[in-house]
Every structure is written in C-alpha cells, then in structure tokens.
C-alpha cells in the first residue's frame, strides 16, 4: 500500500528568481545592509540590483532607507516582517520539495 501523496507548500514566485532569493538570504540574518555591500556580495550592477529590489519592494518584502553619511547619500535595505515570513515560507517549500521535513 503506498502513502497518500501530500501537497507541497507553494514556492513564492516573487522570491524564487535566484537573485531575489540571494538578496533575501543576505538580508535575513541582519537588520539592514548597505546597497553597495549587497551589490558587491551579489556581483551585480546597480541597475540590476535596483530592478530586483523594486520587485521585492512592490511585494512589500523589502524596504529602503536613504541616509547621508560623510556627505554621501547611501541606501540601506532591509527585509520587512512580511518579507521575513515570505522568505521562511519559501525555504520551507524548497526543503519540502527536496524531500526534507517541512518547517
């Protein structure tokens, strides 16, 4: 007798593209990160990072804060509470898809 197939939790289509997944993974353990640092860690351009942050921001998964430091304007990025929950749910779905336990 085979076990009843179980429904897998859904992947989050906003987070699923690899660069967005990487952004969320970098932001999850910190309060916020500077835009330039994210750009360097991801090895991407300003415009490519801005595009991915805009998609995450539109879903209310990230927020950006502008601040001046040393006469230079900088942008700080953080996950919102909704973004943190969505990222954790996406990780749980990936784990379940890979055959691990959920959550």
- Which tens digit of pLDDT belongs to each residue from 2-61? 566 667 788 999 999 999 999 999 999 999 999 999 999 999 999 999 999 999 999 999
Q: Do the domain assignments include residue 10?
A: no
- Which tens digit of pLDDT belongs to each residue from 66-90? 988 778 889 999 999 999 999 999 9
pTM: 0.86
d(CA 62, CA 54): 9
Query: The domain that contains 52 carries what CATH number?
Result: 1.10.10.10
Is 25 strand, coil or helix? helix
- C-alpha pair distances (Å), 68 with each of 9, 34, 38: 42, 12, 18
Give the residue numbers spanning the domain of 87: 18-95
User: How many domains, in total, are found in the chain?
Assistant: 1
């Amino acid at each position: 007798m085979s076990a009843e197939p179980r429904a897998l939790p859904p992947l989050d289509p906003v987070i699923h593209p690899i660069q967005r997944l990487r952004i969320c993974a970098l932001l999850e353990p910190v309060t916020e990160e500077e835009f330039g640092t994210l750009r360097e860690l991801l090895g991407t351009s300003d415009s490519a990072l801005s595009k991915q942050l805009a998609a995450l921001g539109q879903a209310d998964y990230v927020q950006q804060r502008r601040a001046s430091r040393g006469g230079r304007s900088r942008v700080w990025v953080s996950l919102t509470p909704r973004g943190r929950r969505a990222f954790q749910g996406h990780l749980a779905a990936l784990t379940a898809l890979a055959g691990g336990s959920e959550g």
